[in-house]
Amino acid sequence: MRKVEELVVHGVVFLVMLMLYYETKTFPYANIGGSLGAEWWPQVILTLGMVLTILSAGFEARKETKPGLNLDGEEIKSLAVSVAIFVVFLVASNVLGFAGAAPILMAGFIWQLGGRKITTLIGASLLCSICFTVLFGRLMEVPLPRGTGAIRALSYMLY
Amino acid sequence: MDAILQGLMTGLTPVNLLFAFLGCATGIIFGALPGISSAMGVVLLLPFTYGMEPTSAIILLVTNFCGSTFGGSITSILFATPGTPESVMTVLDGHPMHKKGQGGKALGLAVSSSVMGGLFSALMMVVLCVPLSKVAMEFGPAEYVALGILGVTAIAGLGSGSMLKTLISGCLGLVLATFGTDEITGTVRFSFGSSEFVNGVHFIPVMIGAFALSEVFMQAIELRQRNNQAQQYNTSIKVEFMSWAEFLRYKWVLLKSAVIGMVVGILPGTGGTIASVLAYSEVVRSSKEKEKFGTGMPEGVIAPETANNASTGGAMVPTLTLGIPGSGTTAVILGAFIMHGMRPGPLLFQMQPTLLYAVFISMIIANVMLFIGGIYGVKIFAQVSRFPYYLQGPLILLLCFVGSYALGVDIFNSWIMLVAGVVGFFMKKYKFNVAALVLGLVLGSLIEENIRKMMIISGDDWTVFFTRPIAGPIFLLAAAALLWPQIQNLIERRKAGGK
């Protein structure tokens, strides 16, 4: 199974490179900038990359592998949950701003990484979000998302 | 000689020493915080210099530049989140050292080598400022291509896994570097109909995602498998500086990296990031234990840290002697000179040599102060390592987000970081090489743009790359770097066969 898994991964890498290679064919021709057009370098690298991927796949196919999987269902589930929490945070930061969305990320990942106490979940999430907003947004004047509507207006009072 | 002595006296006045200390300390803090680059740190300090005497103002800004270049390594080592672009390569071996319980050693090596790199370049600048700036002007596209190729040759030696997978990872990085507007023709490449890709893919979100974000994703899985029993790193971090024996062991790594950092720093348009990549490449290339890089090799911390701090002195050369800023940070410092009524360039050396030498002397002082600042800076950030991982992980994610978002005040960079995090996760799982991906991404545009520029200049004559006096030898070195390990293998096999 591990061998099949490796071949599937190589297949995906090859297909991505092939797709990008075809994308280079759509670059518009520009009559400036010398004989090497905008597509020349990506095509060279992608061709090399595809050849290497085929060689590597051949090598993996002949290699003796241990039984089992590199990545099992539980691991994929955990990765999916982590990504989902981060996606929710990124979408929320556009609407709620950094101060509103940071507790979601904090609480989500504290749970995901094994923190189960409600006081820690709520307390640490709020405290860290406030600290980050004050430190980066207010004191360091690092730009942070402000959200939309009333939240945006309110954010100018905070940072 | 008089000017050097006067510069020394100016740099050592109590007021200027105080500003050098303040600049260095704030630089370490700014550098350690993702989202505040060296350039942004100098910009933040600029308003404070309005009412100051020009020499003190420039000393404050330049020492801040030195401090921030080191500061980035603290978060690189402790959290795999580079505080500044210059410290990206430090993650590769610095964080694995921390995971092996050698965080104090990694931080100590980072401080020691940063100080040595910075001191070396500042001292060299005092002596060689004018001739070096003339050599820098001889560098054209062919030389930049040669430097880039030399850096890329190290990809083949990176990591302990499959060499083919490492090379594929390098190719993916080189391709990723071509996303966005082609600077020569103006063609937008790989935009997939989205305006967000017009500016390309910046290496910082990719780097943060592929290293830090994927690490948190991995930890989430590992914690579940160990029933939430976090792996215990050595949390009582005590900075261990480089010992005399280590100095002797790594003297050539230090010297080579300092020279690389200084030379690359002098070249306009390069800076500390490229310097650290090239120094790391060189140390991998010349090592007998190539396969161990990425697993926590001390040389993997020493080389990039020496080079990035050595580049600060180098970067000041074209800025001061020619009025050409080599990087974003030096452009801001150039602006500060103009704001205080001075115009850097050849005339500045004739009109105000004392000021220039005072600046270099302050850089020497700032680098000595890094020893003290480094210990305290590290202690502050090391406190976070004492938290349980379910608190550390989310804090790292917030730092990652701030670092990626602040880069262009654009949430798109954070999405790129997330995608890089997922891709990095799979790359680690299937033993592809994340470091090679980043190396390709950083050096890709440098190589491509300069190949095409040189072809235009030479009228499509490929031989110019190999016949120019500086580019030719660098290409020979790159070829030797690539072929020598294979020849060595062959010789060893024959010897073994003979026995």
A79 and A155 fall within a common domain: yes
Higher-confidence position of B31 and A24: A24
Q: Which of A70, A93, A128 is the last residue of a domain?
A: A70
At residue A101 the predicted structure's pLDDT band, cuts being 50, 70 and 90, is very high
SS3 B158: coil
A64 and A16 fall within a common domain: yes
**B376 contact partners, CB below 8 Å, separation of at least 6:** none
Structure ipTM: 0.93
At residue B227 the predicted structure's pLDDT band, cuts being 50, 70 and 90, is low
The predicted-structure confidence for B80-127, as pLDDT tens digits, reads as follows: 878 787 888 898 899 899 888 888 889 889 989 999 998 898 888 777
pLDDT of residue B401 exceeding 80, the answer is yes
Residue with tokens 């997330």: B418
Q: Which of A27, A42, A132 has the CB atom closest to B175's CB atom?
A: A42
Q: Which of A51, A70, A89 is the last residue of a domain?
A: A70
At residue B235 the predicted structure's pLDDT band, cuts being 50, 70 and 90, is low
Chain B CB contacts of A79 below 8 Å: 217, 220-221, 422, 425
Write down the pTM of the prediction: 0.79
A50 and A76 fall within a common domain: no
Is the CB of B127 inside 8 Å of chain A's CB atoms? no
Is the CB of B245 inside 8 Å of chain A's CB atoms? no
User: Taking residues B366-387, what's their average pLDDT?
Assistant: 76
User: Taking residues B188-193, what's their average pLDDT?
Assistant: 89
Could B448 and A105 be called an inter-chain contact, meaning their C-beta atoms sit closer than 8 Å? no
Is the CB of B198 inside 8 Å of chain A's CB atoms? no
A82 and A152 fall within a common domain: yes
Is the CB of B149 inside 8 Å of chain A's CB atoms? no
Distance CA(B400)–CA(A90), nearest Å, equals 12
A11 and A27 fall within a common domain: yes
Q: Quickly count: other Cβ atoms within 10 Å of residue B23's Cβ.
A: 29
A5 and A41 fall within a common domain: yes
A93 and A60 fall within a common domain: no
Distance CA(B316)–CA(B275), nearest Å, equals 14
Q: Amino acid identity of B344?
A: P
A65 and A79 fall within a common domain: no
A27 and A90 fall within a common domain: no
Q: Amino acid identity of B489?
A: N
A83 and A23 fall within a common domain: no
A31 and A108 fall within a common domain: no
Specify the number of domains making up chain A: 2
Distance CA(A27)–CA(A50), nearest Å, equals 20
A52 and A88 fall within a common domain: no
Distance CA(A49)–CA(B445), nearest Å, equals 17
Of the candidates B208, B214, B303, B201, the one whose C-alpha atom is nearest the C-alpha of residue B250 is: B303
With CA atoms as reference, the chain A residue closest to B228 would be A114
Distance CA(B204)–CA(B190), nearest Å, equals 19
Please give the pLDDT value at position A85.
96
User: Taking residues B447-463, what's their average pLDDT?
Assistant: 89
- The answer to whether residues B92 and B435 touch, using CB atoms and an 8 Å cutoff, is yes
Please give the pLDDT value at position A136.
85
Q: Which of A37, A55, A70 is the last residue of a domain?
A: A70
Q: Could you tell me the residue range of the domain that residue B30 belongs to?
A: 2-498
- The answer to whether residues B268 and B316 touch, using CB atoms and an 8 Å cutoff, is no
Please give the pLDDT value at position B376.
75
Please give the pLDDT value at position B230.
54
Range scoring the smallest mean pLDDT among B161-175, B257-271, B444-458, B480-494? B480-494
Q: Could you tell me the residue range of the domain that residue A114 belongs to?
A: 72-159
SS3 A26: coil
User: What is the per-residue DSSP string for B219-258?
Assistant: HHHHHHHTTT-------S----PPPHHHHHHTHHHHHHHH
Please give the pLDDT value at position A68.
66
With CA atoms as reference, the chain B residue closest to A82 would be B217
pLDDT of residue A144 exceeding 80, the answer is yes
Sign, CA dihedral A153-B35-B368-B45, equals negative
Is the CB of B234 inside 8 Å of chain A's CB atoms? no
- % chain B with pLDDT above 70: 92
Distance CA(A79)–CA(B426), nearest Å, equals 10
Range scoring the smallest mean pLDDT among B156-170, B227-241, B371-385? B227-241
Phi/psi at B16 (nearest 5 deg)? -70, -30
- What is the rounded average pLDDT for all residues in chain B? 82
pLDDT of residue A18 exceeding 90, the answer is yes
Please give the pLDDT value at position B382.
72
With CA atoms as reference, the chain A residue closest to B412 would be A90
Specify the number of domains making up chain B: 1
SS3 A17: helix
